[in-house]
Amino acid sequence: MNTPEDQIAWLRAHQPDHLLSVSEDLEHLAFAAGEARVAPTLKSVEAISDQMTPTMREHIEQSFGCPIHQNYGLNEIGLVPTRCDAGRYHVHSEHCLVEIVRSDGSAAAPGETGHLIVTGLSNSAMPLLRYDADDLAVTATGPCPCGRTLPSFADIVGRYNRFARAPEQSRVLFESLRAAILRMPLDLIRDLRQFQIYQGRDGHYEFRLLARATLPDKFAELVHAAWGTMARPLVPALSLTYVDAIERGPSGKYQVFMSEFTPSLDAG
């Protein structure tokens, strides 16, 4: 509940070796720290709960100056895999089985993105067989460079239902825009605290910004320049809007991408 600046001051005063926090908060701290390290004493950070995208990971690791550890779990199953230093998620196959499948149910090929399907082996009161976690994951092939021999997959992309009914290339546009923002000079994004990309049914995109002050004009200029380059040949309209808060979904989690093409969770 404290401001990112207060959290950074606390970390620097108490000098911890390790920090566990949700991915969203870690990114807030990275933005607030600017060019300085968040806390020089930290040796490792564990990210939980919210999705950690590749661009988030790059930004946070650069700001914290230490590795980001991560696992993936489900309330219905428990801890499913843990991410190793080589970037793969190793499945705890002593208590669950994982499959990555296409929409038709066939096994996804190496390097392909598919539905993450989990079978629990520990809950005898309520067995879950081939449970669709509603997340997308990327398959991997061959032995992991870290040396572990547990089954593994390459990455967790995010929620399936956010992109399933959205127009083609929606996810690519979103990730490309996010990457463009995090490549900007720090003086342009120092006051940025949170953002969300909202997709309307008319094809219009709204870039919602939660910031402690209006960002420099150069920020909007670079955003529109990047958008015009990556959205070709048909460039959807993109507007920048400052907001006082970014609404969370029914699960209470912060969503970096929202779309009117995605039905409400309340509607099933």
User: What is the C-alpha separation between 158 and 172, in angstroms, rounded?
Assistant: 13
Same domain, 86 and 133: yes
Assigned domain for 263 exists: yes
Pairing of strands 78-83, 152-153: unpaired
Find, among 73, 82, 68, the residue nearest to 25 by Cα: 68
Q: What is the pLDDT of residue 160?
A: 57
Same domain, 60 and 93: no
Same domain, 76 and 36: no
Same domain, 109 and 91: yes
The parent domain of residue 208 ranges over 170-267
Q: Which of 160, 180, 200 is the last residue of a domain?
A: 160
Can you give the pTM of this predicted structure? Answer: 0.63
Query: Residue 87: CB partners within 8 Å, gap ≥ 6?
Result: 154, 155
- Average pLDDT by consecutive 10-residue portion of the chain (268 residues)? 89 95 88 89 89 80 90 89 92 95 91 92 91 88 93 81 60 74 83 86 88 92 83 75 81 71 52
Same domain, 215 and 263: yes
Q: What is the pLDDT of residue 11?
A: 96
Find, among 47, 81, 42, the residue nearest to 63 by Cα: 42
Find, among 77, 99, 80, 83, the residue nearest to 91 by Cα: 80
Assigned domain for 224 exists: yes
The CATH number that applies at residue 86 is 2.30.38
The CATH number that applies at residue 27 is 3.40.50
Q: What is the pLDDT of residue 175?
A: 72
Same domain, 176 and 147: no
Residue length, the chain?
Answer: 268
Q: Which of 160, 180, 201 is the last residue of a domain?
A: 160
Same domain, 77 and 62: no
C-alpha angle 55/59/60, rounded to 5°?
A: 115
Q: What is the pLDDT of residue 265?
A: 44
Assigned domain for 165 exists: no
Number of structural domains in the chain = 3
Q: What is the pLDDT of residue 232?
A: 60
